[in-house]
Amino acid sequence: MSVTIYHNPRCGKSRQTLELLRRRGIEPTVIEYLKTPPDEAALKRMLGLLGMPARALMRTKEKEYKEGGLDDPNLDDDALIAAMVAHPILIERPIVLAGGKAALGRPPENVLKIL
């Protein structure tokens, strides 16, 4: 089974999730999403697999969230996805994709349910 992790090496949870996968003998495809951000279609696909609205995948404490007025409850998923595409730092991490499923590694053990 192919496994992909959208990873930020500066994030502790992301590093822990990657280590958890490797301890289980899984060497995933690592996408450093700040260097290679997902496009709109990929982000929509991930959200669908995660079964969550765009707002639930946003890092609300980032300055881009506050400065962009993204706390406005009237913004729809398309507007929030566009903001995440423009500012990938807003995307919560890590996201692991495996076998047509996705999980957010918060906590890292969440990814075990899709393996």
* Cross-strand partners of 29: 4
Q: Which residues contact 16 (CB under 8 A, 6 or more apart)?
A: 105, 108
Which tokens is 50 given? 């995660």
Which tokens is 100 given? 């047509």
- Asked whether the bond before 9 is cis by omega within 30 degrees of 0, the reply is no
Which residues participate in catalysis according to the annotation?
11
